[in-house]
Chain A
């Protein structure tokens, strides 16, 4: 921490915090080949900065340049207001640590010894570890929940455990910035989330600036303070994820044709590639989501209504490309929307009642089901006989009762055939 204090006078204090890393007109690449041009980005102390972009877009090249493993082609990167190339190798090692994607095979080295390598810039000529070094390594292993594997050989660890030890090594270097290249690669969901949680801890508790490239858009949305979108040799956009990670932006970033990213939910929904069959789903309160997903997966065109805009059903239905008749949040369903729903209802043979909860704002949806029965359409319901009787009265007799989604699908498919 002494280090930071010495530099504090020279640091640029922005309105949000202390600037740790900055790039000015930075162009990165190999030899004469430019990979990404004109990067201008400030990164503050304790910030979680995330690079997103398709494979081969140059995320790794940027990260390697920021960690000085590669020379910039133009412009420069600055660490604590000093040009990266001006720092001597020891200063750099004490300020910046890396975690790379390359698969390591360091031989007969225990996890503890591996993490202790991070003390390299602090130890003496022969690299003997002092009491303090040992304590710091132990502490680093503790922070990544890897104390229990400290005595095992690195080569015998699983991918998730290895990644933790790599983090501990970086942490033992006591850096102000950690640069990680796709640290969640090869990890299962549990380890992926654990790793991200550890990194967030680094930011919040240690004030370390984490610069990371990820493929998980949903994770990036949820934890990063700055996202940088890299595509086609330039920075497509950068800034806070709430402003930037919009559906169209993500679709453009990854050239998505058959899926949509939903920024409210942070999930990717596969878009419907239709088989020409249509179903109308009367839904709400989240009961429609599994229905949409199932029928969309099986190639049905889904029409749904009337759904309120704040409803999760609305977000999912839009993402998978369903036709949605929506109503403003907390408003009663208007005549106009109901009329539109009736019009669409005409076109379909199968109507599904998802068993949505009925309240004052959406009670008019019941009319949709009643109208469908009236017109002799197949109405499938997920409600029990008794619940349906209470809601629909006599019309309940003409509905088809199903005890689960698969059985609806089965019945519809059989009928279509």
Chain B
């Protein structure tokens, strides 16, 4: 009975995902008819203006939204189970703050070395370096401490530290550069190119697979660290893998799209409530699909609502997602 429910829900998720993907490609500030879109895609026409828009702009962007949404949601789920805390998201360990600090150094500080137009790629590198730096520090700490809640607090403190330095940089920054940084901080999937999509697919795909292989110890962790240990889970190895996978996924997304808030926190809840289970074998695929769907939808809204002006993706995710999560939680008797 449960299996049929999962099966039908997964079919529904796939249909929805396909629908939003097509919509993301077919709809935009430039009006391209559906028939033409179909023709451009099926015949791989890249030469015309519309062909360029679809193949070079909309397609990579739609794919990026799907991939990044899936990674963020999975990253959030891993950390929620690991810390046994429902209000934990992928950025709880200070990943986004580390990335923001490095980006601020590049965009606002002197690190751009007088280069006027800052290349998107440089920002990505900076963000990834920042996320990686925080991750390494957290991992070093994780190997020494006994209690995982200590790790959570240290992650929060790392976040505050990075944020403090970023604030100082903001205080001294020029105004025109500041706007760029503020917009980066709110995240966006615009400007994704195919190379980046390939990179994100391969790297993220490997991490996602790794996360799925952790579903057995993750399930044991639902009962807490002591029980997990008594059932044969090697806590230190597991801790290392969880922090690595979740931080790497979040860091990668942040590097290319900026910190996209809310998805990682809310989608695990949505998936749990929709599927009615906390079993990670089912939940991880569910979270991947739902993360992709929600992010695609949010990106669509961000692009269309005040087209041609594009809204920051984090604003949309929070604005539409928060009420949904609250509603779902209130309707449920069982606490998650």
Contacts and interface: CB of A to CB of B under 8 A. Distances in A.
Interface of A: 67-69, 89-90, 92-94, 96-98, 100, 102, 104-109, 113-114, 117-118, 120-121, 123, 125-128, 153, 155-156, 173
Contacts of A98: 226-227, 230
A123 B335 contact: no
Contact of A117 (B229, B231, B333, B334): B231
B50 interface: no
Contacts of B213: 125-126
A127 B219 contact: yes
12 contacts: A93-B231, A97-B230, A98-B226, A98-B227, A104-B223, A105-B84, A107-B336, A108-B336, A113-B279, A117-B219, A155-B335, A156-B333
A346 B106 CA distance: 102
A394 to B, nearest CB: 73
Interface string B300-336: 0000000000000000000000000000000001111
Interface residues of B, number: 27
A126 B223 contact: no
B223 A106 contact: yes
Contacts of A113: 277, 279
Given A89-B232, A123-B216, A127-B216, A100 B336 contact: no
Interface string B173-214: 000000000000000000000000000000000000000010
Dominant secondary structure of chain A at its interface with chain B? loop
B233 interface: yes
Nearest to B222: A106
A97 B229 CA distance: 10
A126 B336 contact: no
A109 B219 CA distance: 10
A393 B51 CA distance: 122
Nearest to B218: A127
Contact of B335 (A93, A105, A118): A105
Contacts of A108: 272, 276-278, 334, 336
A98 B277 CA distance: 24
Interface in B6-31: none
Contacts of B231: 93, 117-118, 120-121, 173
Given A109-B277, A125-B216, A69 B333 contact: no
B334 A155 contact: yes
B172 to A, nearest CB: 46
B212 to A, nearest CB: 8
Nearest to A128: B281
B45 interface: no
Given A98-B230, A106-B222, A117-B231, 4 more contacts: A93-B230, A100-B227, A108-B272, A156-B333
A107 B216 contact: no
